[in-house]
Amino acid sequence: MKGSLAVKLAPWIATIALFAFWEAACRIFNIPPFFLPPPSLVAKSFVEFWPAIYRNSLFTLSTTAIGFAMAVGFGLLLGLAVGWSRAIYAGVYPLMIGFNAIPKVAVVPILVLWFGIGFIPAVLTAFLISFFPIVVNVATGLATIEPELEDVLKALGASKLDIMRKVGIPRSLPYFFGSLKIAITLAFVGSVISESVASNTGIGNLMLQAQAQFQVPLIFAGLIALAVEGIAMYALMAWLETRMTGWAQRSGFAQA
Amino acid sequence: MTAFVALDDVSHVYGGAGGTLAVDGLSIHVNRGEFAAVVGPSGCGKSTLMKLATGLQFPFKGKVQVAGSLVSQPVKIAGMAFQAPTLLPWRTTLDNLLLPLEIVEPHRSRIRRHKAEYVVRAEALLASVGLDGQGDKYPWQLSGGMQQRASLCRALIHEPDLLMLDEPFGALDAFTREELWCVIRNLHAIRKITVVLVTHDLREAVFLADRVFVMSARPGRVLAERVVDLQRPRDLEVTYTPHFIDIVHELRAHIMQARQ
């Protein structure tokens, strides 16, 4: 089982190697810490500012989670509606694509105008940025039902709702759970954007303040905190995906 | 007495008036308990025939009757199987078999409370096609031939009066195909079910059917009708007898004509 051990260790080795390389480069080339601080300095400031990092991370995590939950609910419903009827599809799709093309950072000022700064715009930005892939994936799952199977069931007198319940929804679940991995990272990006522009709390705001005070190691500490949270949430979604739709992941490529 | 499945002078157009004619002036009568095969060049409207006879499509012109009544909605007494087994990968083979029972009455309202009874029935059906004890496996754990057997079981589980088969063995290797011919032959003999088999394999049609209909190129209509006067029960050996080969040749001549 040498191969599987290598696979297990690979992510740790790669990560440690990256940080080692970073540290070594900073020392060898004498890079000033206010330009690029070495990981050791970043770690030091991580410890030093831990209470602030912890508090702000929690804030970012909660705005992301709430925005994401809204996106899941809304995305699932809209995806089912779009997959249900060609008319709804034709009506909604251009609007959605247009909406998705708008950079969400441009929407934050409007949200601030309506709801003030802080929690609500962050949640809404996370929501707005992350529902699109869910809708598209759920609709795709429904659109790819085999016509023969539909015939088998229709000939028995199955209603559209029957076919949706017995075939359409289970069939679109792998697409749905796959899209959650994309959506959660997008939601995270949304939250941080909104915090950077219009908030007094959150990791985005923490990094902005650190920049204003020229505490470069703290900026990087914030980045690391974001990366760790992002990986954790992605891993949670990936775990959920394999747990819920193991039947769809049978190929040798499915070990993500 | 009218035939069990009766298409009279049926024309069907896809895409509304002015669209392409799929079948034109098509008349086919299949008696109760009869095994009918429909052969023809590709694109001759064989699949349209399937859809018309099961009430998935309604004729543009003409009359379709099944079991004595005019078809105006899905017939509900038909089981269907296609070239692709179309089993649901998230259900075990057994649960795939139970799917039609979750749709069609009276089973639909009973299946929750009488699950065990239906499971027994499904397992017996699986055993009858040589899939004993495979019910717990997922379809993707079965070979292509086994999946097709399971697909046939799914078409039969609600004990339909009419079995519609659309090139069900087209994707299988020659040996598996002949094995499944025998499975179908036995099912038909035991259940006295009416079968309509659409195929492009003439040997398959002659081996299985009581009567073979040859369809013309699009727009499809019946060019010739041939009663297969081979004694039942038929053994695979019959496919090497001169009489069998003569019938196949005769049908082949019709098909060649139809392709021109």
DSSP summary character for residue B131: -
Domain co-membership, A197 together with A136: yes
* A·B CB contacts under 8 A: 67
Q: Quick check: A42 pLDDT over 90?
A: yes
Task: Give residue A39's pLDDT band: very low, low, confident or very high (50, 70, 90).
Answer: very high
Q: Which of B99, B151, B154 to mutate to test the interface with A (most CBs of A within 10 A)?
A: B99
B88/A contact by beta carbon, under 8 A: yes
What's the confidence (pLDDT) of residue B106? 83
Q: Quick check: A2 pLDDT over 70?
A: no
Q: Quick check: B15 pLDDT over 90?
A: no
Find the CATH number of the domain harbouring A70.
1.10.3720.10
In a domain, residue A255? The reply is no
* B74/A156 CB distance under 8 A: yes
In a domain, residue A97? The reply is yes
What's the confidence (pLDDT) of residue B21? 84
* A148/B102 CB distance under 8 A: no
B230/A contact by beta carbon, under 8 A: no
Q: Which residue ranges form the domains of chain B, and what is each CATH number?
A: 5-258 (3.40.50.300)
Q: What is the pLDDT of residues A109-154, one digit of tens each?
A: 999 999 998 899 999 999 999 999 999 999 988 888 888 888 888 8
Domain co-membership, A14 together with A47: no
In a domain, residue A254? The reply is no
Share of residues in chain A with pLDDT > 90 (%): 65
In a domain, residue A2? The reply is yes
Domain co-membership, A65 together with A162: yes
Task: Give residue A157's pLDDT band: very low, low, confident or very high (50, 70, 90).
Answer: confident
Q: Quick check: B17 pLDDT over 70?
A: no
Is residue A92 exposed (0-12), middle (13-18) or buried (19+ Cβ within 10 Å)?
Answer: middle
Is beta strand B61-66 parallel, antiparallel or unpaired with respect to B211-215?
Answer: unpaired
In a domain, residue A253? The reply is no
Residues 6+ apart with CB under 8 A from A136: A79, A179
Q: Which residues of A touch B56 (CB under 8 A)?
A: 151, 154-155
Residues 97-126 of B with CB under 8 A from A: 99-100, 102-105
B42/A contact by beta carbon, under 8 A: no
Give me the DSSP letters along A160-207.
HHHHIIIIIHHHHHHHHHHHHHHHHHHHHHHHHHHHHHS-SSSHHHHH
Domain co-membership, A81 together with A192: yes
Domain co-membership, A95 together with A203: yes
In a domain, residue A137? The reply is yes
Domain co-membership, A224 together with A108: yes
* B88/A170 CB distance under 8 A: yes
Domain co-membership, A16 together with A138: no
Domain co-membership, A164 together with A135: yes
Distance separating alpha carbons of residues A223 and A219, to the nearest angstrom:
6
Q: Which residue segment(s) compose the domain that A11 sits in?
A: 1-31
ipTM score of complex: 0.81
B56/A contact by beta carbon, under 8 A: yes
- pTM score of the predicted model: 0.79
**pLDDT averaged over chain B?**
89
Cis amide bond preceding B219, omega within 30: yes
Distance separating alpha carbons of residues B232 and B246, to the nearest angstrom:
18
Q: What is the pLDDT of residues B218-227, one digit of tens each?
A: 888 898 899 9
Task: Give residue A1's pLDDT band: very low, low, confident or very high (50, 70, 90).
Answer: very low
Q: Quick check: B153 pLDDT over 50?
A: yes
Distance separating alpha carbons of residues B155 and B158, to the nearest angstrom:
8
Q: Which residues of B touch A156 (CB under 8 A)?
A: 74, 76, 78, 100, 103-104, 158
CB-CB neighbours of A118 under 10 Å = 19
Distance separating alpha carbons of residues B243 and B133, to the nearest angstrom:
40
Q: Tell me the mean pLDDT in the region A195-219.
A: 91
What's the confidence (pLDDT) of residue B19? 76
**pLDDT averaged over chain A?**
90
Q: Quick check: A3 pLDDT over 70?
A: no
* A155/B75 CB distance under 8 A: yes
Q: Which residues of A touch B171 (CB under 8 A)?
A: none
What's the confidence (pLDDT) of residue B75? 85
Q: Which residue of A has its CA nearest to B73?
A: A157
* B84/A162 CB distance under 8 A: no
Q: Quick check: A256 pLDDT over 50?
A: no
Q: Which of B5, B75, B90, B196 to mutate to test the interface with A (most CBs of A within 10 A)?
A: B90
CA-to-CA separations, A40 to A24, A56, A222, A227, A251, in angstroms, rounded: 11, 22, 14, 17, 41
Q: Which of A145, A148, A154, A156 to mutate to test the interface with B (most CBs of B within 10 A)?
A: A156
Task: Give residue B172's pLDDT band: very low, low, confident or very high (50, 70, 90).
Answer: confident
In a domain, residue A256? The reply is no
In a domain, residue A180? The reply is yes
Task: Give residue B16's pLDDT band: very low, low, confident or very high (50, 70, 90).
Answer: low
Q: Tell me the mean pLDDT in the region B210-217.
A: 91
Q: Which residue of B has its CA nearest to A149?
A: B86
CA-to-CA separations, A214 to A30, A33, A34, A210, in angstroms, rounded: 19, 11, 7, 6
* B84/A158 CB distance under 8 A: no
Angle made by CA atoms B23, B26, B29, in degrees to the nearest 5: 140
Domain co-membership, A25 together with A41: no
What's the confidence (pLDDT) of residue B84? 87
Domain co-membership, A98 together with A161: yes
Q: Quick check: B53 pLDDT over 50?
A: yes
Tokens found for residue B148: 């097709």
Q: What is the pLDDT of residues A5-27, one digit of tens each?
A: 888 899 999 999 999 999 999 99
- For chain A, how many structural domains are there in total? 2
* B74/A154 CB distance under 8 A: yes
Task: Give residue A85's pLDDT band: very low, low, confident or very high (50, 70, 90).
Answer: confident
Give the one of B74, B75, B90 whose C-beta lies nearest to A170's C-beta.
B90
Domain co-membership, A126 together with A204: yes
Distance separating alpha carbons of residues B177 and B167, to the nearest angstrom:
11
The residue among B14 and A60 whose pLDDT is bigger is: A60
Domain co-membership, A68 together with A140: yes
